[in-house]
Amino acid sequence: MRYAIVGTGRLGLSFALALRTSGAAVAGHTSRSADGRDRADAVLGTPPSPSISALVASVLAWTPGSDLDPAPAAGLRSDGG
């Protein structure tokens, strides 16, 4: 399975390194900033991707903030039922 990292900040880059260490292929990455793209390119040895959707079938995304409830997106009820 190939993975692409959207957002190469501390979490995204750490996740990419963990995936690669476990044997997964990091197919590409992207970041809002040129510094983030350059840093990931240097660490991962993979150039930034202009289109993540062209590389992978699924995208996992993390967003900052603890007020997000993942249950509705997963088709689950927030109350545990």
Q: What is the pLDDT of residues 10-45, one digit of tens each?
A: 888 898 899 889 988 888 888 888 888 888 889 888
**One-letter amino acid of 35:** D
Using alpha carbons, select from 20, 39, 54, 25 the residue that is nearest to residue 7.
39
Question: What count of Cα atoms within 13 Å lies in the side-chain half-sphere of residue 75?
Answer: 0
Q: What is the pLDDT of residues 50-80, one digit of tens each?
A: 766 666 666 566 666 555 555 555 454 445 4
**One-letter amino acid of 17:** L
pLDDT value of residue 78: 47
Residue with tokens 């044997």: 23
Alpha helices in the chain (DSSP H): 10-21, 34-44
pLDDT value of residue 28: 83
pLDDT value of residue 47: 80
